[in-house]
Amino acid sequence: MGNGAAGQVGVVAALVRAAFLVDGVYAEASRAYGLTPQQGQLLCVLLARPYGMSELGETLGLAKSSLTGLVDRTVRRGLVLREADPRDGRAVRVGLTDQGAALAEKFYVETCRRMEALPSGLSGSERERLAVLLSRVVVDNEVPEVFVEAPAVPVSVPGDSPS
């Protein structure tokens, strides 16, 4: 059970190994900012807007008890806060504090920088093709928007000539 010709692996192995790779980037970036990977994901999701607890649990794929613990720990750090939902006084929304927003922005930029480096061995056209194919997989599987699109970051790719 090894790699095929020139390190080629099948789609299943490639997806599983890519998931490990992305998880590793999240873990490294999180440690650099004193966060757990789950806290980093929470901050990135909340960058867009506050979420209700049910919607947040669905988006992050967490059970209610796990989400409550994550939010509790992040509230204690002063990064997020709970507030009454203006549309439903019984419901709670979770949003970033000023400190949390500042940390979330730094963490997001650093995570994007690290993710951009992963396919550095690909040409510009290969990177575009990879993005198209991964986008189809994500859309076809209705993956929630847990990480918003990063602004275009110029990346130097070996073999590409500047346009």
Residue-wise pLDDT for 87-104, tens only, equals 887 889 999 999 999 999
Tokens 């720990």 appear where?
73
Position 156 pLDDT exceeds 60: no
User: What amino acid occupies position 53?
Assistant: M
67: which residues sit within 8 A by CB, 6+ positions away?
53, 56, 57, 60
Using 50, 70 and 90 to split pLDDT, how confident is the model at 158? very low
CB 39 within 8 A of CB 70: yes
Q: What percentage of the chain reaches a pLDDT higher than 70?
A: 87
> Is the pTM value of this prediction over 0.85?
no
What pLDDT, on the 0 to 100 scale, is given for residue 52? 93
Q: What domains lie within the chain, and their CATH numbers?
A: 14-140 (1.10.10.10)
Token pair for residue 143?
């993956």
